[in-house]
Amino acid sequence: MKMIKTTLAAMLVASLLGCAASPTAKTDKTMPGTAKPVSISQAPCCESFREFAWVPMQGDEIDFVVDAYSQVGQFEEGKSYFSAFALPANVERMQVTLNSWMKSEGVFAPKVLLLDPNFQPVKTIALDEFTVAPSKMFSLSSYQHRFTMDQATTPYLVVYSPLEYREEAITIPHPERLRAEELGLARPMVTDPVIEHQRFGSLTLDLKALNMRAYRVGEVQPLPQPVAVPATAPISTAVPAPIPTAAPAAKPVAAPVTSGPAMLAESETFYNTQIKAAVARNDIQKALRLMEEAKRAGSTTAEATFIELMQK
């Protein structure tokens, strides 16, 4: 009797763990269970891409969430919460891997827009171009896609989720079934998890600089600046063809060697948020590296933030 109870308990635990499971499957148009919120009532933040608030893509990883505090944009498919990122000035080309994590409460089904220096869309990455990466020992299943950004042609990145995505769900194989298939065992009696697409979610950008931009000490390289163009009307995500292959690089602005450039407020916020997240995960080494990196980049608050967190 004890053996039967133990087996049943193990099966129950395995079933519960299945909600954080693994690889590709199909996207379901019908939503199982009760209705979920998919509409957005907040007013859009901006009338054009150039008005977005951009987070610099610094470091080797950016963990971020799309939630009720995120910006809202009026895209061609309708309104969506979104996050926006920009290549740092010292990187010519960067390899980016985007993961949108599949949790039991749902997943943010991403669509990616890459913009040129004039904030015009030149490439879109739809959901059907993403793969479903299987869960691992220390990570959940995720929508995943890898792409390259270029300072001259695609320095800006927008991640959002259209209404048609939010209305759907995805069924992924239960990990016990995958394990049985790998070992050649009989298929277990388990139900494949259904992960609902949601307005909100947790995502990660893994960053790898491919080409760095060199400049002399004392010269400041700003973020890519658009050329003068007439003010644009509501945001258009239409991608023109062909994609432009080159844009003039901004000339470096001379600055006194004795005083470094002040860090942008967005960069200060980015570093402080990443330091807090690292400390919350008890990853003190990463928090220390982020603090030192921020100080070298001109931060005036990162060290104080780190010290304050260490004293708690």
Name every residue whose Cβ is closer than 8 Å to that of residue 260 and which is 6 or more positions away in sequence.
Answer: 298
The rounded radius of gyration (Å) of the Cα atoms in the chain is 22
Position with higher pLDDT, 310 vs 145: 145
Q: pLDDT band at 283, cuts 50/70/90?
A: confident
Query: Which among 187, 212, 242 is the end of a domain?
Result: 242
Q: Which residue has the higher pLDDT, 96 or 284?
A: 96
Residue 12 lies in a domain: no
Q: Are residues 262 and 133 in the same domain?
A: no
Lowest mean pLDDT among 26-35, 170-179, 193-202: 26-35
Question: Are 311 and 235 in the same domain?
Answer: no
CA distance linking residue 102 with residue 193, whole number of Å: 11
DSSP element (H, E) containing 86? strand 78-86
Q: Is 237 in the same domain as 117?
A: yes
Go through the chain and tell me how many residues it has. Answer: 312
pLDDT (tens digit per residue) in 164-173: 999 999 998 7
196 DSSP β-pair partners: 169
Q: Which of 210, 209, 213 is nearest to 90 (CA)?
A: 213
Q: pLDDT at residue 211 above 70?
A: yes
Please state the rounded mean pLDDT for residues 268-292.
82
Residue 285 clears pLDDT 70, i.e. is over it: yes
Percent of the chain with pLDDT over 70: 73
Q: Are 65 and 200 in contact (CB under 8 A)?
A: yes
Percent of the chain with pLDDT over 90: 45
- Domain boundary among the residues 212, 242, 272 is at 242
- Claim to verify: residue 268 and residue 200 sit in the same structural domain: no
Contact (Cβ atoms closer than 8 angstroms) between residue 197 and residue 105: no
* Residue 252 resides in a domain: no
| Strand partners of residue 220 | 253
User: Can you give the pLDDT at residue 190?
Assistant: 75
Residue with tokens 């050329």: 227
Residue 88 sits in the same domain as residue 158? yes
For the chain, give the mean pLDDT: 78
The answer on 85 and 27 residing in a single domain is yes
Count of domains forming the chain: 2
Are residues 109 and 146 both part of a single domain? yes
**DSSP letter assigned to residue 47:** S
* Cα dihedral 284, 287, 289, 291 sign: negative
53-101 pLDDT, tens digit each: 999 999 999 999 999 999 999 999 999 999 999 999 899 999 999 999 9
Q: Which of 3-12, 94-103, 132-141, 200-209 has the lowest mean pLDDT?
A: 3-12
174 pLDDT band (50/70/90 cuts)? confident
Domain check: are 88 and 176 in the same one? Answer: yes
Name the residue range of residue 276's domain: 258-312
The mean pLDDT value for 230-237 works out to 50
Return the amino acid letter for 81. Answer: Y
- Which residues, in sequence order, are CB contacts of 257 under 8 Å at separation 6+? 217, 218
In the beta sheet, which residues pair with residue 95? 148, 208
Structural domain includes residue 253: no
Q: Residue 161 corresponds to which tokens in the numbers above?
A: 């989720």
Q: What's the pLDDT score for residue 311?
A: 82
Looking at residue 237, its pLDDT comes to 65
Q: Is the pTM of this model over 0.75?
A: no
Instruction: Give the separation between CA 211 and CA 258, rounded to whole angstroms.
Output: 28
**Are 168 and 296 part of one and the same domain?**
no
Both 162 and 274 in one domain: the answer is no
